[in-house]
């Protein structure tokens, strides 16, 4: 924590805002945090580059150059520009605003480096301010530019579209094309045409960055978060799920017009303001079974999932889960202004017309599911597949932890980096994404203060230990994963297991320290540990930098606790992180069990 200095602005700048290092080009260090190799087809791979982020958190906050004790009435934009200008020694003309939002505990500004008025795609920064208008977190991947391409394209956009469509085996989807700068790993800066390419039958959806001078495809953002589930030996286990009839499960605060109304229209089917659930195409919804808004379809476990009434039971369940998650996470801060998924935003900020589309029993795959998160204002797409480990097959839409896992990709991709859907792209950040998705499924299934081991996907593959390598557990023999396991893991779901298990232990520690609330879904104001956990989970997302590392993600939790609880859970959090190798000296995938002095 830095004290507030009583100095003139000029002196203050010199003393407290000595510019921090700006990320240089790729150096000889682990590439987890900066790169991702993607195989797009059998003979085409592309390695994407995201300049390393610096991330600092400031506890009770530091003053920015325009801060005045007697007047905190300065715009978020002005405060942000002043802080970043001082901190990074860049000019205001080098800064362009992407978006801002005010959460309960912090106000967030997301900016991009820019040159001649053209923003950079992969050099971004985020600044968070607390209620005193002091800076509490700063993440940046701004770069020192060396050679920078001319800002006037020499390749026409039509040629760039053709190149991107060919390379990515899809079609330009009509979304507005932009010109953006892109930092390459050698430090040079290219000018690009940025074009969305989709292939609906293949389930792909990219932003393609085509060099506007050479015509080369330089970079992609992959909007689809896929899940793959490891196969375990099949033994006998049947998970019988108890269906119940719930009446009015919607939360009137989070969904003021319920789950079936958009504008003045009340839909008599699995469609509404937050989500629509269909099979095949968007006309194939489940209609109400009797008078309006009754969806009573009794699943028949001995019949194939794609026969009546099982299709309707599946659409109804997926629709119910996605809406419930919308409502619960809304209470904890995933609101319209925080880039959530809704058709009508009721004038509360953010971009609308982006409710989640749920493709139930999608024929595009088997034994899996996925979720595409394009930027705020474009609908998320969840595709749920059938699983053929059993006969009849089982339906992922009827296993709530699979639906929850997928839907949480939408939460984390939208709330990290300001609604772009582009900030969990590195291997390490993608791994965190998988981890949060498992951790949310873990969180939402608790029905008491007990913290049993958690297993993901036992129903769909009909196997008691589910689809992951280990159960999530507080017992380090049951689950031996630690921060240093990142040294040997090379795949996003495997890396996600490390993070989800750390969060399982953070959850257990918070519940042990602060107890458990049975009303956490609709009352986020209690002091209990399960409520604290979900607040910190969600508050940390917008604090962390674009493409966070594990260390960044941990630091964002610690800062989120300072913002909301004045650091009351600091030692509990540090002890839990340290128990799995993420103590204060953890770095470069080397464990540390050290906690701060006094803990």
Ligand X SMILES: *[C@@H]1O[C@H](CO)[C@@H](O)[C@H](O)[C@H]1NC(C)=O
**Could you list the residues that contact Ca ion (CB under 5 A)?**
350-351, 354, 376
Q: Are strands 356-359 and 381-384 parallel, antiparallel or unpaired?
A: parallel
If one asks whether residue 594 binds ligand X (CB under 6 A), the answer comes out as no
DSSP state of 285: B
| Residue 532 backbone dihedrals phi, psi, to 5 degrees | -55, -45
Alpha-carbon distance of 378 to 14, in angstroms, equals 44
Could you tell me the smallest distance in angstroms from the CB atom of residue 102 to ligand X?
15
Could you tell me the smallest distance in angstroms from the CB atom of residue 226 to Zn ion?
7
Residue 227 binds which entry of Zn ion, ligand X, Ca ion, none, CB below 5-8 Å type-dependent: Zn ion
Could you tell me the smallest distance in angstroms from the CB atom of residue 11 to Ca ion?
44
Alpha-carbon distance of 469 to 499, in angstroms, equals 13
Nearest to 321 by CA among 366, 384, 415, 238: 384
158 is in an annotated binding site: no
535 is in an annotated binding site: no
Site string for ligand X, 280-309 (x = CB under 6 A): -------xx---x-----------------
Residue 201 binds which entry of ligand X, Ca ion, Zn ion, none, CB below 5-8 Å type-dependent: ligand X
Residue of 102, 199, 300, 487 that binds ligand X (CB under 6 A): 199
Could you tell me the smallest distance in angstroms from the CB atom of residue 445 to Ca ion?
27
Q: Examine the residue annotation and report whether 406 is marked as an active-site residue of this protein.
A: yes
CB–CB of 449/458 below 8 Å?
Answer: no
Per-residue tokens: 3: 């004290």
Site string for Zn ion, 433-472 (x = CB under 5 A): -x--x-----------------------------------
Could you tell me the smallest distance in angstroms from the CB atom of residue 189 to Zn ion?
32
Q: Which is nearer to ligand X, 201 or 283 (CB)?
A: 201
Q: Which is nearer to ligand X, 145 or 268 (CB)?
A: 268
Residue of 227, 323, 420, 505 that binds Zn ion (CB under 5 A): 227
Which residue has 């809406």 as its token pair?
A: 323
CB atoms within 10 A of CB 68: 10
DSSP state of 93: G
SS3 (DSSP) at 28: coil
Residue 476 binds which entry of ligand X, Zn ion, Ca ion, none, CB below 5-8 Å type-dependent: ligand X
- Out of 399, 406, 428, 497, the active site residue is 406
Alpha-carbon distance of 25 to 373, in angstroms, equals 28
Per-residue tokens: 357: 């589309």
175 is in an annotated binding site: no
Which residue has 């580059």 as its token pair?
A: 49
From the number of C-beta atoms within 10 Å of its C-beta (0-12, 13-18, 19+), residue 92 rates as exposed
| Residue 388 backbone dihedrals phi, psi, to 5 degrees | -110, 35
If one asks whether residue 202 binds ligand X (CB under 6 A), the answer comes out as yes
Q: Which is nearer to Zn ion, 48 or 227 (CB)?
A: 227
Catalytic residues, which ones? Answer: 406
Interface residue list for ligand X (CB under 6 A): 73, 169-171, 199, 201-202, 268, 287-288, 292, 476
């Amino acid at each position: 924590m830095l004290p507030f200095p009583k100095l003139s602005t000029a002196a203050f700048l010199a003393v407290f805002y000595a510019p921090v290092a700006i990320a240089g080009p790729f150096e000889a260090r682990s590439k987890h945090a900066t790169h991702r190799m993607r195989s797009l087809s059998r003979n085409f791979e592309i390695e994407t580059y995201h300049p390393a982020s610096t991330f600092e958190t400031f506890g009770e906050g530091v003053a920015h150059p325009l801060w005045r004790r007697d007047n905190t009435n300065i715009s978020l934009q002005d405060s942000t520009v002043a802080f970043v200008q001082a901190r990074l020694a860049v000019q205001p003309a080098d800064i362009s605003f992407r978006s801002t939002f005010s959460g309960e505990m912090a106000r967030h500004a997301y900016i991009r480096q820019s040159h001649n008025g053209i923003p950079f795609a992969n050099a971004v920064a985020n600044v968070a301010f607390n209620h005193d208008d002091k800076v509490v977190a700063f993440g940046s991947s701004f770069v020192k530019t060396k050679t920078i391409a001319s800002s006037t394209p020499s390749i026409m956009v039509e040629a760039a579209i053709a190149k991107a469509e060919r390379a990515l085996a899809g079609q330009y989807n009509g979304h507005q094309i932009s010109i953006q700068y892109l930092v390459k790993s050698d430090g040079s800066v290219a000018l690009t045409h940025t074009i969305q390419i989709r292939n609906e039958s293949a389930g792909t959806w990219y932003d393609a960055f085509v060099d506007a001078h050479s015509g080369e495809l330089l970079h992609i953002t992959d909007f689809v978060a896929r899940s793959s589930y490891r196969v375990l030996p099949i033994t006998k286990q049947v998970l019988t799920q108890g269906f119940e009839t719930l009446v009015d499960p919607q939360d009137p605060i989070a969904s003021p017009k319920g789950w079936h109304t958009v504008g003045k229209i009340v839909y008599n089917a699995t469609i509404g303001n937050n989500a629509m659930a269909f099979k095949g195409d968007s006309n194939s919804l489940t209609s109400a079974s009797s008078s309006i808004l009754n969806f009573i379809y009794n699943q028949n476990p001995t019949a194939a999932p794609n026969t009546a009434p099982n299709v309707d039971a599946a659409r109804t369940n997926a629709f119910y889960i996605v809406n419930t998650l919308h409502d619960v996470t809304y209470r904890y801060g995933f609101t319209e202004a925080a880039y959530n998924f809704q058709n009508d935003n009721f004038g509360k900020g953010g971009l609308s017309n982006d409710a989640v589309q749920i493709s139930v029993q999608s024929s595009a795959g088997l034994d899996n599911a996925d979720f595409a998160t394009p930027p705020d204002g474009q609908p998320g797409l969840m595709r749920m597949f059938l699983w053929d480990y059993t006969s009849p097959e089982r339906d992922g839409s009827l296993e709530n932890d699979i639906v929850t896992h997928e839907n949480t990709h939408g939460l984390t991709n939208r709330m990290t980096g300001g609604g772009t859907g582009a900030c969990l792209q590195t291997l390490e950040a993608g791994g965190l994404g998988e981890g949060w998705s498992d951790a949310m499924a873990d969180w939402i299934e608790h029905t008491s203060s007990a913290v049993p081991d958690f297993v993901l996907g036992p129903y769909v593959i009909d196997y008691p230990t589910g689809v992951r390598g280990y159960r999530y557990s507080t017992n380090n023999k049951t689950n031996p994963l630690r921060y240093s396991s990142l040294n040997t893991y090379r795949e996003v779901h495997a890396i996600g297991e490390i993070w989800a298990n750390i969060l399982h232990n953070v959850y257990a520690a918070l519940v042990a320290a602060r107890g458990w609330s049975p009303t956490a879904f609709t009352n986020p104001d209690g002091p209990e540990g399960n409520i604290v956990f979900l607040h910190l989970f969600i508050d940390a997302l917008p604090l962390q930098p674009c493409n966070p590392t594990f260390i960044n993600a941990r630091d964002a939790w610690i800062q989120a606790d300072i913002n909301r609880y004045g650091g009351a859970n600091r030692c509990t959090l540090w002890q839990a992180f340290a128990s799995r190798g993420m103590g204060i000296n953890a770095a470069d995938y080397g464990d540390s069990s050290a906690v701060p002095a006094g803990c």
